[in-house]
Structure 1
Amino acid sequence: MTEIDAIDRTLLRELSLDAGQSAGALARKVNLSQPATYRRLRRLEAAGVLAGRWLDLDLERLGLGVTVFLGIKLATKGRVSLQDFERAITAIPEVQSVQHVLGLYDYRLRVVARDLPDFERVLRRRIMTLPGVGEVEANVLLSEEVRPGPI
């Protein structure tokens, strides 16, 4: 396990607020030189603590006004491999995330679409036609508030 000190925690907190900050901007916030901050970021990346940086897109402005969370229970776990299902479901561009979970459903998906008729098309023509799909439960996202977790 990688040792993480107070400066590393501050860097991670700052990056969780704005992942696009430069090493120079971060250095000023933690009172280190830019090269020292850069080395810390590289060390956190090499250790796998800092696994990537994400772009936060406004889906509605991109014409994707509906987000639906799907719970999927596979009907025939023995006949369809989980890898085959995961490969097929991740090939659908509207599926933004796939989570293999324990509980009532085998998978939770985050699906985006232009509107509800577009979502219905994706569900009927792309998701429900995949081999092994059994029960499906859909929850339409009404609003979302994302807060960075405590570090």
Structure 2
Amino acid sequence: MTGLDATDRAILRALVEDATLGSAALGARLGLSQSAAWRRVRRLEEAGVLAGRRLDLDLAALGFGVTVFLGVKLAQRGRTTLAETERALTAIPEVQTVEHVLGLYDYRLRIVARDLSDFERVLRRRILTLPGVGNVEANVLLSEERLPGPI
């Protein structure tokens, strides 16, 4: 969908700020009726511009004090398919994202753990034991300065 107008963009900005806004509140904020706001949101969903809403959890408050970005290089292509590797990686609960990337590594993972020894357990017992996983490189997140926001 390329035909976004100013109202569509305003809806997207409002929902990025607060994804819990209902049609009535969204309409009131943007000067639209509830039904007009609902129709526009529905059209954005059907076009794939809005691909769901998510809840951001405070990982530290839940006991996950460490976030690690892990670069994963596959050992041998062909021994296991990319789809099998991706399925196995996404099945690990501590792995928050699996990104197939171009560069030194084949995958970039975002992993949360309670502490470094918990991360080591996930790495040794769950990731390094997967068929096809070769070299890995870990980068521990020290701080996050910018959270995702409107484009």
TM-score range, shorter chain: over 0.9
Runs of 4+ in 1 over 4 A off after TM superposition: none
TM score, norm. by length of structure 2: 0.96
User: Aligned partners of 2:114 and 2:24: how far apart in 1?
Assistant: 39
2:92 corresponds in structure 1 to 92
Distance of 2:11 and 2:144 partners within structure 1: 26
Which ranges in structure 1 are unaligned for 5 or more consecutive residues?
none
2:137 aligned counterpart, secondary structure: strand
One-letter code aligned to 1:16: V
What letter matches 2:62 in structure 1?
L
**Residue 82 (str. 1) matches residue 85 (str. 2):** no
Matched letter for residue 63 of structure 1: G
1:65-115 Cα distance to aligned partner (Å, 9 max, x none)? 110000000011121100110111111000000000011100000000000
The whole-number CA distance in structure 1 between the counterparts of 2:6 and 2:37 is: 13
Tell me the number of residue pairs that the alignment of Structure 1 and Structure 2 aligns.
Answer: 150
Equivalent residues of 1:2, 1:47 under 8 A apart: no
Letter in 1 for 2:84: D
Structure 1 SS opposite 2:97: strand
Question: Structure 1: how far apart are the matches of 2:112 and 2:94?
Answer: 5
Letter in 1 for 2:149: P
2:128 equivalent to 1:141? no
Q: Distance in 1 between matches of 2:132 and 2:54?
A: 32
| SS at 2:99 equivalent | strand
The one-letter code sitting in structure 1 at the alignment partner of 2:78 is G
Q: Percent identity?
A: 69
1:70 maps to what in 2?
70
Which AA in structure 1 matches 2:55?
Answer: L
TM-score, with length taken from structure 1: 0.96
Q: Distance in 2 between matches of 1:5 and 1:52?
A: 20
Gaps of at least 5 residues in structure 2 are none
Q: Distance in 2 between matches of 1:48 and 1:55?
A: 19
Q: CA deviation at 1:140?
A: 0.4
Cα-Cα RMSD: 0.9
